[in-house]
Amino acid sequence: MKNTEKPKFNDLPAKGTYERLAGYLVDSFKEDNLPDYVYYDLALAAGELIQPMRKYAKTHLSIDHLKKRFDDKHNKIGKSIFVLRLIPFGIDDDNFYNELKKIFLDIKLPDSNQWLHQKKQCLSIVLPYFKQYNSDKGIKDGMYEYFESTPSEHIETILQYLGGVDKFADGFIKALNDSEKRAKHWVYIWCFKAICQEGLLGDEEKNLLKEVIREYRNNKGTSISDFEKKIIDQLLP
């Protein structure tokens, strides 16, 4: 990634769109214009907003800039998490990946420190953005154990990202068809399993999505790993 010039006014997306708002918010982050609680809420924003912010950051912020901001000891909780959420898919950075992985694994829950809970949860979302994650077998087991031990908070986060229970089916299907999110497909499948256990979906939707997963599993081009197969086998006979 490289820094580019800020777009001219006429080149900006249409007024009132998430894409235009994303540019304003990322620029405000660069200039440190917003209070920490705003960055915290932005870090937890649904996909309609976080995706265009990440896309804008990919063009206008370098990974080195994000690393520097993450390492800034003066950053508060909201800003640190917001930095992590701006990391785009496909990053290739061994040192930064290993640093974040170590932080994730070193955080042992339960803990009374809510900041540690939020940090671990955010890292579980961000680590799959790195290319190194795809060949890292150990981290997936650590994440799965974490998800299984704290299901409700992950359901809440993923539902928020996909637009809620009413939009879960559409978001789930779209996510499984998104090759850029291949490393995170198991997370969505796990979430579907957890949501079914909570009784949040009707039988029609459950049957529809089980068929989607069955087709996904049987697609020769998907190359299901043993790890993914373990999760899928919990859903399908």
Query: Residue 115: which residues within 8 A CB-CB, separation 6 or more?
Result: 77
Please give the model's pTM, rounded to 2 decimal places.
Answer: 0.79
Q: Measure the CA–CA gap between 77 and 162, rounded to whole angstroms.
A: 24
How big is the CA angle at 156 (ends 150 and 160), to the nearest 5 degrees?
Answer: 150
pLDDT tens track for 63-94: 898 988 888 777 678 888 899 889 988 889 99
In Å, how far are 66, 197, 235 from 150, measured between CA atoms?
28, 14, 19
CA–CA separation, 210 and 232 (whole Å): 9
Give residue 98's pLDDT: 95
CA gap 209, 207 in Å, rounded? 6
pLDDT tens, N- to C-terminus, the chain (237 residues) = 444 445 444 456 677 788 888 988 999 988 888 888 898 888 877 778 888 998 899 888 888 989 888 887 776 788 888 998 899 888 899 999 999 999 999 998 887 888 888 889 889 989 998 999 988 988 999 999 999 998 988 888 888 777 788 889 999 999 899 988 888 899 999 999 999 988 888 999 999 999 999 999 988 677 888 899 999 998 887
pLDDT digits (tens, 9 = 90+) for 5-38: 454 444 566 777 888 889 889 999 888 888 888 9
User: What are the residue boundaries of the structural domains of the chain, listed by start?
Assistant: 154-237
Calpha distance 41→97 (Å, rounded): 24
Q: What is the distance between the alpha carbons of residues 140 and 8, in angstroms, rounded to a whole number?
A: 43
Cα gap 136→208, rounded to integer Å: 32
Q: Is 84 left (phi over 0), alpha (psi -120 to 50) or beta?
A: alpha
Distance CA 30, CA 6 (A): 12
